[in-house]
Amino acid sequence: QVQIVESGGGLVQPGGSLRLSCSASGFTFSNYGISWYRQAPGKERELVAQISASGQDTNYADSVKGRFSISRDNVKNTVYLQMNSLELEDTAVYYCNVWRFGVPYWGQGTQVTVSS
């Protein structure tokens, strides 16, 4: 039974920082790459960042490159998204995702609101 739980969202001022966590269980976590997506009101869900199974390779959307950093701890079965220099446009529900045997698995999402 695959379970993914996001946490760490909240209200932050522009220029501030948040660290999101994605805790996973029900599969061999270290064998899979993990992605962070986000969905703002009225917008399509978009890819934010990706990390390979080993954690050695990462990929970022242009809009967050240089501000966000994805990492993972395979001992704790957790992926992190460190978000710095947050902007109003970063406001969204952030989701963690893993594709396993052709099936996408999502958490419930965690709300990030950037507001002064």
* pLDDT, tens digit, 9 for 90 and up, residues 79-105: 999 999 999 999 999 999 999 999 999
Contacts of 109 (CB under 8 A, 6+ apart): 6, 39, 93, 94, 95
Half-sphere exposure of 5 (CA within 13 A, CB side): 6
Rg (the chain; Cα; Å): 13
pLDDT in tens, 5-56: 999 999 999 999 999 999 999 999 999 999 999 999 999 999 999 999 999 9
Return phi, psi of residue 113, to 5°: -120, 120
The vertex-77 CA angle with 74 and 82, nearest 5°, equals 85
pLDDT computed for residue 96 by the predictor: 97
pLDDT recorded at residue 13: 98
The strands making up 68-73's β-sheet, listed across from edge to edge, are: 3-7, 18-25, 78-83, 68-73
